[in-house]
Amino acid sequence: MRASLPRLPVSDVLPDLSEALGDQGAAVLVAPPGAGKTTLVPLHLLGDIATGRIILVEPRRLAARAAATRMADLLGEAPGATVGWRMRLDTRVSASTRIEVVTEGVATRMILSDPELSGVAAILFDEFHERSLDGDFALALALDIREALRPDLKLLIMSATLDGARVATLLGDAPVIESEGRAFPVTIRHRDRAPGEAVEDAVAAAVREELRAGSGSILAFLPGQREIERTLERLEGRVAADVILAPLYGRLEGAAQDLAIRPAPAGRRKVVLATTIAETSITIDGVTTVVDSGLKRAPVFEPATGLQRLETVRVSRASADQRAGRAGRTAPGEAIRLWRAEQTAALDAFDRPEILVSDLSALVLDALAFGVSDPASLRFLDPPPGLAIAEARALLRDLGALDETGRMTATGEAMRALPLAPRLARMVVGAAPGEPRRIAARLAVLLSEPGLGGPSVDLAERLRLWRADRSPRARAAEGLAGRIAGMAPSDLGDHLDDDDPGALLSLAYPDRVALARGAPGSFLLSNGRGGTLEREHALSREPALVVADLQGVSTGAAQRTGRIRSAAAIDKARLDALLVARIVEEDTLQFDPASRSVRARRVRRLGRAVLAEAPLPTPAGEATGRALMAGLRDIGLARLPWGKDGERLLARLRFLHPAYGAESGWPAFTDEALLADLEGWLLPFVPGVSTLAQIGEGALREALLARLPPGEARRLDDLAPSHFTAPTGSHLPIRYEAEGPVLAVRVQELFGLSRHPAIAGGHLPLILELLSPAHRPIQITRDLPGFWKGSWADVRADLRGRYPRHPWPEDPTTAPATNRAKPRG
C-alpha cells in the first residue's frame, strides 16, 4: 500500500513518524498546508498497525468528508471500504473500515461511550491549532485513557501552525517532527479598507480588480454567511460570464460545498467566497489569489446571562498566514489583505481557544459521566476557567441535570445520553412521549443544524418548511430526530404534554422567555437582556416569545439589547402553568423618577420580566425611606429641594473640607460622598417620607450639620460665614466657589475700608466682585488697597460719567460708605 502512495513533502518524515510512535506512542507533527499530512499519514500508519482502527479527527465536516474521499481515491476504493467517515447526519463505514475520519464532537462521543476504545489502535488529531472545545476535550479524555487503561494507544497531534513544544509537553515530552511544505511563493499586498466602508463592499471591489488583472481563481475570506451573501449580490452581473461565483460556509449542504472546492471547468475561473472553513484541511484547486478581509466570527460566552454570542473579530497572525498560503498551493500566487501592513504586528499570534470563551455545561456533564467531577483536573492545554465551570454547574442544576451536591441526576443522565447540547437535551427528555417528544426532537435538530428549514427567525415556520423539504439533508435530519426521540426515557416523572414549539422551547430556555415592551419588535427577556425584531416580522407583535438565539448582546452598560435570531411565540396566559416554579409574586417598593416618589406594587415576574403588576398603598417606614434613598442615588442630589440657604450651606461645607478635613476630621461633602451615605446622614432626618417633595429645607440643613464632628458646627460661621457685613451695614451673601469665597458688592459700600475684607479670623481674603450702582460688574480684585491706589482713578472717571448722582471721591478710604445716591438739589 505504501508503494502506491503519491510522493508529497510529508513523505520524507513518515519513517521518523513511525519510529516516534513505535518508541513513545505519541508525537507531534507540524507540517504546512499542502504537505500531505491529512491523507498520507493515516494511510502510511496502516502499514505499522496490524490490527485495530485509526481514528482521524477533523474539526469540520467538510474537511472530514474531503479527507476520507481523497484517501479512498488513493486506494482505488469508494468511501466506506478501508476508509470511511462518521459525522452528524452522515455515516459511511463498514466492517472492513480501518480508517475512520470523524468530526471532533463524534470523537468525544466515541470515547465517552467506550472508555477503553475497543478496537482503536491510534487517534490522530488533525488541524489541532483550531483549538475547538470538542477537540481539546477529546484529547484530554484520550490522554486520561492512555494513562489509566490503554498505554498502547497511539496519539498523534498534527497541525500547520502550532506551538509544537507546548503540545509535546502535554503529551509527556513527545517528539516534535517537522515537515517541509510544498508551497509556491505568495506575494502579500495590502489594500486598506476605508473608514466606514462595509467589508462586503471592500471584498467585492478587490475581487473585481483581481479578476481584471489576474488569470486564476480567487478565494475570498469573509467573517460569515451574511457578508458572503451580500458580497455575492455585489458581484452578480458585474463579472464576466466565464466566472463562477461559489459560496462556502458551514450551513451549505454537502453538494454545494463540494461544488465550491471542485476545480473550475477548463476555460473558466472561480470566485469562492468562504468563511474560516477554507483556512485549513481542504485544497481548492486553481486558486492563485486570496482576498482576506482579516475578520472572522468567534463565539463569546456571557456567563451572567447564559448567552453565547458570535462576535466579528480580527483574525490571528497564524490564521492570516494560513489564508495567504492558500494562494500558493499549486502555483505562485498573491494575497491581498484588506488592512494596513503595520496592523499585522498587532494581531494575536494564535486564535483564542474555545475552551476559554465558550459555554462549558456540556463539558461538565460529560466529565461527570466519565467519572471526573472537576474538568480542570484533566490534562488540557488550557485549563477551563473556574467562573465558566461554576456557571455551567449552575445552569445544569437549573435544568435539573445536577442535584444540590453536584451529582448527576436521572434527568442529567438521560440528557447526556442524547447527542445534543444540555439545553436541547432537557427539552427532549422533558417532553411527553409521542407527538410532543417528536416535535421537541425536531426542534433540537433544527437548532443544531444551521440552515435547516430556511433562514426564518420563527422556529415554528422553519419546522413547517423542513417537514415539506424532501432533500437528502432534510430526510437525514428527520431520521436523526426520530432516533433522538426514541433514545429519551419515558419514566422520568412529569412530562410536558404539549406540542406547541414555544411551550417546548421553554423547557430549554426558561431564562429567555421574552415579553413585549413598548414598540412592536421590542422585548425584555427574563434574564434581563433586551431583544429586538424587525417591526415587519410576524413575531414582532406577539405578546411573548421564547428566544433560542440572541446575537449582538454586550456585557457593557451601553449595549444590553441584542437581535433575536431564532424564537417561537408562546401563549402568555399559559406561562403560569408552564413555569410555575419560576414565577415569583412579591410586593415591591420602587422609586418612580417621573414623580420623584416611591410607589408600592404587587408584582408577578418571571426573572426580570414582569408578567403583571397592581398598585398598592405606599407604606410609611424604613423600607420606603431606603427605596427613596436608592432612587435619589440614581437621579442625583440636585433633585433635592435645597432652597437657596441649603445650597449655600452645602457650598460652605464643601469649601472647608480641603482646608480643615485633615486636621479636624471634617467630612467630605462631595456628591459622591453624600450619595454613598444617604442612609447614614439623610434618612434619619426624614422619617415617614415617600417623596422628595416632602423633604423640607430645614431637615436638609439639620442633616448636613449633623455630619460634622462634635463642636465643629459652632465653628462654621467663624470659618466660613454665610454673609459679610459691609461698612454700610448691608448683610451680603458670600459665594463659596472652587477658587475661593466670593463677595459681590457695590463698590460704594466699601468706601472707608483701607484693608482687604477677609474671613476665618482674617486669614482668608475674600474675592471681591466689585459692582456699579446698577449691580453691573466693574472689576474683580483680591487686593482692595491696591485697587484704591491703582485703577480706582480710571474706574472713578468712568462711573462719574455714567452715574453722576452718586458720590465718587478721589480718596475712597476716607469717604463714608454708602448705598444711596446724593439727595436731589
Same domain, 8 and 31: yes
Backbone phi, psi, residue 458, to 5°: -75, 110
Same domain, 83 and 196: no
Final residue belonging to a domain, choices 479, 503, 527: 503
Final residue belonging to a domain, choices 143, 178, 213: 178
Instruction: Tell me whether residue 511 is in a domain.
Output: no
How many residues are given for the chain? 825
Residue type at 201 in one-letter notation: D
Distances (CA, A) of 205 to 135, 199, 234, 236: 37, 10, 9, 12
Cα Rg of the chain (Å, integer): 38
DSSP string spanning 42-81?
Answer: HHHHHTT-SSSEEEEEESSHHHHHHHHHHHHHHHT--TTS
Residue type at 241 in one-letter notation: A
C-alpha cell of 704? 448636613
Instruction: Tell me whether residue 48 is in a domain.
Output: yes
Same domain, 334 and 371: no
Q: In what order do the strands lie in the sheet with 90-92?
A: 90-92, 83-87, 99-103, 53-58, 120-125, 154-159, 26-30, 176-178
The CATH number given to whatever domain includes residue 135 is: 3.40.50.300
C-alpha cell of 509? 430556555
C-alpha cell of 783? 487686593
Instruction: Tell me whether residue 576 is in a domain.
Output: no
C-beta contacts of 659-666 below 8 A and 24+ residues apart: 660/719, 664/709, 664/712, 665/709, 666/708, 666/709, 666/712
Nearest Cα residue to 528 out of 566, 555, 567, 489: 555
Same domain, 369 and 259: no
Q: Which residues make Cβ contacts (< 8 Å) with residue 257, sequence separation at least 6? A: 62, 248
Same domain, 369 and 336: no
Angle among Cα 308, 313, 315 to the nearest 5 degrees reads 125
Residue 288 exposed, middle or buried by CB count within 10 Å (0-12, 13-18, 19+): buried
DSSP helix/strand/coil, 536 = coil
Same domain, 62 and 104: yes
- Cα separation, 60 vs 102, in Å, equals 9
The answer to whether 351 and 130 are in contact (CB under 8 A) is: yes
Same domain, 292 and 411: no
C-alpha cell of 408? 448527576
The answer to whether 561 and 339 are in contact (CB under 8 A) is: no
The answer to whether 347 and 316 are in contact (CB under 8 A) is: yes
**Bridge partner residues of 695 (DSSP):** none
Instruction: Tell me whether residue 626 is in a domain.
Output: no
Residue type at 129 in one-letter notation: H
Q: Which residues make Cβ contacts (< 8 Å) with residue 250, sequence separation at least 6? A: 60, 61, 62, 275, 277, 450
Backbone phi, psi, residue 576, to 5°: -60, -45
Same domain, 169 and 191: no
Same domain, 701 and 742: no
Angle among Cα 95, 100, 103 to the nearest 5 degrees reads 135
Q: What is the pLDDT of residue 452?
A: 86
Distances (CA, A) of 217 to 245, 262, 517, 586: 10, 12, 50, 66
Same domain, 156 and 11: yes
Domain count, the chain: 5
The answer to whether 358 and 301 are in contact (CB under 8 A) is: yes
DSSP string spanning 752-768?
Answer: T--S--EETTTTEE-EE
Distances (CA, A) of 213 to 124, 210, 771: 42, 5, 78
Same domain, 246 and 336: yes
In 3-state terms, the chain is what percent helix, strand and coil (to 5)? 40, 20, 35
Is the Cα torsion angle 132, 137, 143, 146 positive or negative in sign? negative
- Cα separation, 490 vs 498, in Å, equals 15
Instruction: Tell me whether residue 206 is in a domain.
Output: yes
Instruction: Tell me whether residue 408 is in a domain.
Output: yes
Same domain, 694 and 797: no
Angle among Cα 90, 94, 96 to the nearest 5 degrees reads 145
- Cα separation, 344 vs 333, in Å, equals 20
Angle among Cα 783, 788, 792 to the nearest 5 degrees reads 115
Look-up: residue for cell 414555544? 502
Instruction: Tell me whether residue 522 is in a domain.
Output: no
pTM (two decimals): 0.72
C-alpha cell of 542? 406577539
**Bridge partner residues of 426 (DSSP):** none
Q: What is the pLDDT of residue 62?
A: 83
Q: 724-745, pLDDT tens digit by residue?
A: 999 999 999 999 988 889 999 9
- Cα separation, 211 vs 58, in Å, equals 33
Backbone phi, psi, residue 571, to 5°: -70, 115
- Cα separation, 772 vs 802, in Å, equals 10
Those residues of the chain that have pLDDT short of 70 are 1-3, 181-183, 254, 280-281, 301-309, 552-560, 659-665, 824-825
Note down the domain range covering 444: 359-503
Instruction: Tell me whether residue 565 is in a domain.
Output: no
Final residue belonging to a domain, choices 321, 355, 389: 355
Q: What is the pLDDT of residue 825?
A: 52
Q: Which residues make Cβ contacts (< 8 Å) with residue 475, sequence separation at least 6? A: none
